[in-house]
Amino acid sequence: MVELRVQEQQILQSIENNGGKASVEQLIVTLNLSDAAVMRNALTLQEKNLISIHAVTQSIIKLTDEGKLYAQTGLPERRLILAVAEMDGQADLKIAAEKAAIQEQFIQIALGWVIRKKWASYSGKNNLLKLSEVSATEGCDEGLLKFLVNREHVSFDELSVEFKDEAEQLKKRKLVIIELKTTRFLQITQEGKVSLAEGKTVQQEITQLTPELIITGKWRVAKLQKYNIDAPVAKTWSGKKHPYLSFLDKVREKLVILGFQEMTGTSVETSLFNFDALNIPQDHPAREINDIYYIKDPKYGDINSYGAIVERIKETHENGWQTGSTGWGYKYDFEAAQKLILRGHGTCLSARALESKDLQVPSKHFSIARVYRPEVVDRTHLSEFNQIEGIIVGSDLNLRDLLGVLGKFAMEIAGASKVRFKPDYFPFTEPSVELSAYKDGYGWIEFGGSGIFRPEVTQPLGVSVPVIAWGLGVDRLFMMHSGIDDIRMIFCPELDWLRKKQVI
Amino acid sequence: MPTIDIDYKELQQLLNINFNGNMEKLDDVLAYVKAEVKSYNKHDETVNIEFKDTNRPDLWCVEGLARALQGYIGHKTGLKQYCIAKSDVEVFVSKELYDIRPYIACAIIKDIHLSDFIIRGLMHLQEKLDQTYGRSRKKASIGIYNLDLITPPIEYTSVNPKDVAFVPLGFTEKMNLYQVLEKHPKGCEYGHIVKQHPLYPMLFDADGKILSFPPIINSNDLGKVTEESKNLLIEVTGTSQKTVQNTLTIVTTMLIDRGGKAYDTTIHYPDNSNYTEKQVTTPNFNSQQLTLNVEYTNKLLGLNLTPEHIKELLKIAGLDIKGMSKTEIAVLIPCYRTDILHQVDLIEDVAIAYGYNNITPNWPQLPTTGKQKPDQQLINYARDLMIGLGYQEILNTTLTNPETLFSKMNTPPTPFIEIQNPKIITMTCLRNQLLPSLIEFLSNNQSTEFPQKIYELGKVIHPNQMYETKTREEEHLVAVTTHPTANFSEIKSVLDNFLSNLGVDWQIKHFVHSSFIEGRAGKIVIDSQDVGIIGEISPQVLENWKLENPVASFELDIQQIIDKKSLTLKTQ
């Protein structure tokens, strides 16, 4: 004997009353149950072989908002010739359109249809629209619009042949849409009918265990309903760290373990530290408005406290000062040095660390800096992103050490198995090295740029020992790490993506 | 970074290498000069090459590129000597140019056979030099003429723009200089370089024929170079004498490589003027000399190279040696290498010739202590708490726009930092509060499941005259909850939990703020200082953003808490 619960019995009975077959939608309405409740019970009934579930997919034709409007007010071409008819069979196109209340941008469309349907002729010379002698009878398209206007769920397959052809035309005019709709039907089985007829299996069951049942001990006599534990449940969304920030946390942690201390600074920076201190001449293309954001107001920062340093930087740019360099050979402009910009790289923080009175030898520093470039945002460009950069200051550092540091980063931070070095160029380092790392599954990837700061950079800042400088392409690394191919996902505006993004 | 189209077949021929269409192989060779293949067009067999080094204009033509690579591929080491013959062509510069476009350098090329291919290469080089090395013609720009149509001496002078008219290249009608700036495409593009001066620069020959209006455009009569042109005049004008002369060297050596014979010219700068040198002969193909210290080289590279070895490596890099001792090497730098400022540049050339990948890396063992930034610990506590409270962390850009910050939030503007040259209309200023970005975020997620609870911890930027950069950055925390029954009590409870966990005593003070519902907004006060705001967002703001659920939020200047707390943390 099969046991039936209340809702199961109700559903079975309702199907039987409906002639042995009913759709889920019908049952939701008749029994005032939720979709989930009907489906949960239907699945149990199917398991018990009392019903079978069928899904039928149909093409449904529906009017669009524009279609609905025309079904009520008439197609624009119809309205146009009606207006012309009222004006004795011929009229100026603009006047007729105005009379027919057709908006400017739809006039040409309405005219096109009038001509195509041969309802009127049109002379472009004098803009005159003249009705045809044949009267404009109601077209099949208009018939279909009327047919659809008060009906829902019209099956495309059940339309007449003429209507079917017309439906395709109206779809092109975006007046109707044809969409697939799946309806689930529940059909009672022979066994189901028997169970219903026996009609004695209904038993009251407890769904939610309540404090009252526990305290009073009533739970001993109650029958607790067995759940369908396979049934889907509502989603729970936890609070989580942003995947990109979480990635930066890990990089920060690794750098701290490797003995680096974090540097910070402001996004608004003076040209002095973003450019001049880094041996970037004042007419360098990187300082053009296409490459760096300038601040509108205030335009200039205050570099008075760096008097001696600015003087040395000026000399270095002009003639090399005491650095052994020829310098760039131009006239240095103090005003240009004061210009405020949004920092274009994190290297300005390294310059500030070198300038600091607290600089120790040896020491290692890193920064995770928000940097800015006037880029149009697309799959591969952001106008605002992060750079991880750093320096190592030590009296005997050399190119071998630089390569060793890069190799360490590639292994520790990118999880690379092999590294490769190429000559690179930065105005502030010499020698300069580009790091490529080989990562299983990804191949060779460009991973960062680096070098030994030029004497033109270190000496004016008061540093006489070699300084290794490096920068890592952290955004690219994150994209690889999390399998995304659109850099805009870093500032992802989709809550759903953030909720579903796995933490590992 | 400059990119140059190079003829692939020509490069193979000049290098005597067949890359068999393998761009990786070509890339490996290009790496020696810091260049890489960007794309390869199989149809016309051109390779688009990107050069990282902006100071090596000598590489920006196939001839120069091949010249630089000869040593690395083992064909020919040492520097390439170029000869120059004397000519009696003179150029006279007038005094007023000192303040307009002071410098000029000229060279003559004779007996050259120009093919269409060479002309295209020359034009390409000219364009790249003008653009990049010449800083969009401001610092230097090049003009090339058919010498046979010109009667020397040349006069480089300044004229009143409306008094002089000529037919500019590519046009048929005569126009005065104002009209050139207005009508000619090059005039529109580069006119700003001369516009501020009452007089414009002009080049005439001895017969008073116009060569060009530098740096804008050549004359259509004299300034057209075709396959029939056998003898050429090359001229570079600009604001930096060094750049002008270097540019001339690069163009001239390229034409010598193509079989031309080069002749010099004498430039006469006026007496009684600000010019320091009154007479200059151009071009100058003399090598420069720089002393390389052997010990410094080895110290910087971490190697132990002998002077002989260093000499060999320098020659591979296309340099040469004048003399050497155990401690020093006198290095000869060819005229076309304009990038050497310091001996570190030579040391890098030594390293590249040695091969970066032949150097054994070493992880320097230094006694340093790692440390995250002082604020980070409190920031992490704050983030952990918000996550524990069920809030999703989000990340927004600090760039935004006043409409988002103020108008759509229904508030008058508060001081903020604007960008002078914004690129996109949605990113014209820096945020001075976080809340608007989060409200904007909600408006992008109206079809996502509710309740939505989000927070951001990030920087806001305020103008502040007290600081060096005239700005102050603060770390802010904003939390937002939205769902059909979201309200003030809910968010206050979250704030209470958050601040209590940080051990902060706080009060709330009623206030009116047009972003919030009146009577449902307050200032958050710690130690009688305002540190933030809390409230239920006004329906007007919700409507502005097309939000359909109530929203409650708080924003805290967490920097103040960090500043107070970091003291306590340090002593722990």
What string of DSSP letters covers A439-492?
Answer: ETTTEEEEEEEEEEEPHHHHTTTT--S-EEEEEE-HHHHHHHHHT---GGGGG-
- Together in a domain, A162 and A201: no
Q: For position B568, what pLDDT does the model report?
A: 60
- Give A40 to chain B, closest Cα distance, Å: 22
Q: What values do phi and psi take at A209, rounded to 5?
A: -70, 125
DSSP B361-380: P---------B--TTHHHHH
User: How is chain B split into domains, by residue range?
Assistant: 3-69, 90-282, 290-353, 376-571
| Residues A126 and A104 both lie in one domain | yes
Asked if B137 and B130 touch (Cβ cutoff 8 Å), the reply is: yes
Calculate the CA B184 to chain-centre distance: 28
A107 and A125 within one domain: yes
Q: Which residues of chain A does B471 touch, with a Cβ-Cβ cutoff of 8 Å?
A: 266-268, 340
Q: Taking the alpha carbons of B183, B189, B192, B194 in that order, is the dihedral positive or negative?
A: negative
A341 has a pLDDT exceeding 80 = yes
Query: What does the block give as tokens for B275?
Result: 């010019």
* Residue B572 in this model has a pLDDT that exceeds 60: no
Give A305's contacts in chain B (Cβ within 8 Å). 468
Residue B398 to residue A370, Cβ atoms within 8 A: yes
Pairing of strands A429-439, A443-453: antiparallel
The fold of B3-69 is: Phenylalanyl-tRNA Synthetase; Chain B, domain 1 (3.30.56)
Partner-chain contact A285 B424, CB within 8 Å: no
Task: Kindly list the distances between the CA atom of residue B464 and the CA atoms of A153, A298, B402, B471, in Å, as whole numbers in the listed order.
Answer: 64, 10, 19, 5
Q: Per the CB < 8 Å rule, is B463 touching A298? A: yes
Put simply, the answer to whether A374 touches B421 (Cβ < 8 Å) is yes
* Residues A11 and A30 occupy one common structural domain: yes
A444 and A438 Cβ atoms separated by less than 8 Å: yes
Answer whether residue A239 shows pLDDT above 80: yes
Same domain, A375 and A487: yes
Any idea what the CATH number is for the domain that residue A477 is in? 3.30.930.10
Return the residue of B nearest to A289 by Cα.
Answer: B421
Closest residue of B to A284, CA-based?
Answer: B135
**Interval A81-108 mean pLDDT:** 84
pLDDT (0 to 100) of residue B326: 94
Predicted confidence band at A150 (pLDDT cuts at 50, 70, 90)? confident
Residue A217 lies in a domain: no
A23 lies in the same domain as A78: no
CATH of residue A77:
1.10.10
- Give me the percent of chain A exceeding a pLDDT of 70: 98
Number of domains in chain A: 3
State residue B292's pLDDT score.
Answer: 97
Domain boundary among A152, A174, A196: A174
Put simply, whether B386 touches A (Cβ < 8 Å) is: yes
Residue A414 lies in a domain: yes
Residues of A in contact with B343 (CB under 8 A): 324
Range of the domain at A54: 6-60+180-205
Test the B interface: residue of A250, A257, A266 with most B CBs within 10 Å = A266
* Residue B424 near chain A (CB below 8 Å): yes
Q: Answer whether residue A426 is part of any domain.
A: yes
Interface residue of A373, A386, A421 to substitute, partner B, most B CBs within 10 Å: A421
CATH number at residue A199: 1.10.10.10
User: Chain B partners of A495 at a C-beta cutoff of 8 Å?
Assistant: 392, 394, 441, 445, 448, 452, 454
Per residue in B518-559, pLDDT (tens digit) is 999 999 999 999 999 999 999 999 999 999 999 999 999 999
Stretch B91-100: mean pLDDT: 94
Please give the pLDDT value at position A442: 83
CB < 8 Å from A in window 330-349 of B? 341-345, 347-348
Question: Which pLDDT belongs to residue A35?
Answer: 84
pLDDT at A68 over 80: yes
Q: Are A484 and A348 in the same domain?
A: yes
pLDDT 10s digits, A294-332: 999 999 999 999 999 999 999 999 999 999 999 998 999
Q: For domain B290-353, give the CATH number.
A: 3.30.56.10
Distance CA B524, CA B538 (A): 18
How far apart CA B441 and CA B436 sit, in angstroms, is: 8
At B136, give phi and psi (nearest 5°).
50, 50
Fold adopted by B90-282: Phenylalanyl-tRNA Synthetase; Chain B, domain 3 (3.50.40)
Nearest CA in chain A to B390: A239
In a domain, A193, yes or no: yes
The answer to whether A406 touches A392, Cβ cutoff 8 Å, is: no
Minimal Cβ distance to A260: which of B370, B391, B424: B370
What rounded mean pLDDT belongs to chain B? 94
B contacts of A488 (beta carbons < 8 Å): none
pTM of the predicted model, to two decimals?
0.79
- Average pLDDT for residues A374-394, to the nearest whole number? 92
A83 assigned to some structural domain: yes
A399-417 confidence digits (pLDDT tens): 999 999 999 988 888 888 8
CB pair distance less than 8 Å for B444 and A494: yes
Is A127 found in the same domain as A255? no
Band of pLDDT at residue A146, cut at 50, 70 and 90: confident
Band of the pLDDT at A201, cuts 50, 70, 90? low
- For the cut 80, the answer to whether the pLDDT of residue A200 exceeds it is no
Which of chain B's residues have a Cβ under 8 Å away from the Cβ of A255? Answer: 370
Name the residue among B240, B348, B441 with its Cβ closest to that of A493.
B441
- Domain check: are A83 and A10 in the same one? no
Please tell me whether residues A93 and A38 are part of one structural domain: no
Does B567 have pLDDT greater than 70?
no
Q: What is the pLDDT of residues B310-354, one digit of tens each?
A: 999 999 999 999 999 999 999 999 999 999 999 999 999 999 999
Residue type present at position A265: G
At B17 the pLDDT is 92
- Contact state of B420 with A294 under an 8 Å Cβ cutoff: yes
Determine the CATH number of domain B376-571: 3.30.930.10
Q: Do domains B3-69 and B90-282 have the same CATH topology?
A: no
* B 258-277 near A (Cβ less than 8 A): none
For chain B, the first-to-last Cα distance in angstroms comes to 51
- Kindly report the nearest CA distance between residue B294 and chain A, in angstroms: 14
Asked if A295's CB is within 8 angstroms of B420's CB, the reply is: yes
Nearest by CB: A401 against B52, B362, B368: B362
In Å, what is the CA distance from B390 to each residue of B241, B270, B287, B481, B492? 66, 79, 70, 10, 15
| Structural domain includes residue A194 | yes
Q: Is residue A307 in some structural domain?
A: no
Distance CA A128, CA A153 (A): 43
- Residues near B302 by beta carbon (within 8 Å), at least 6 away in sequence: A398, A399, A400, A401, B359, B362
A14 with A157, same domain: the answer is no
A257 with A352, same domain: the answer is yes
pLDDT at A483 over 80: yes
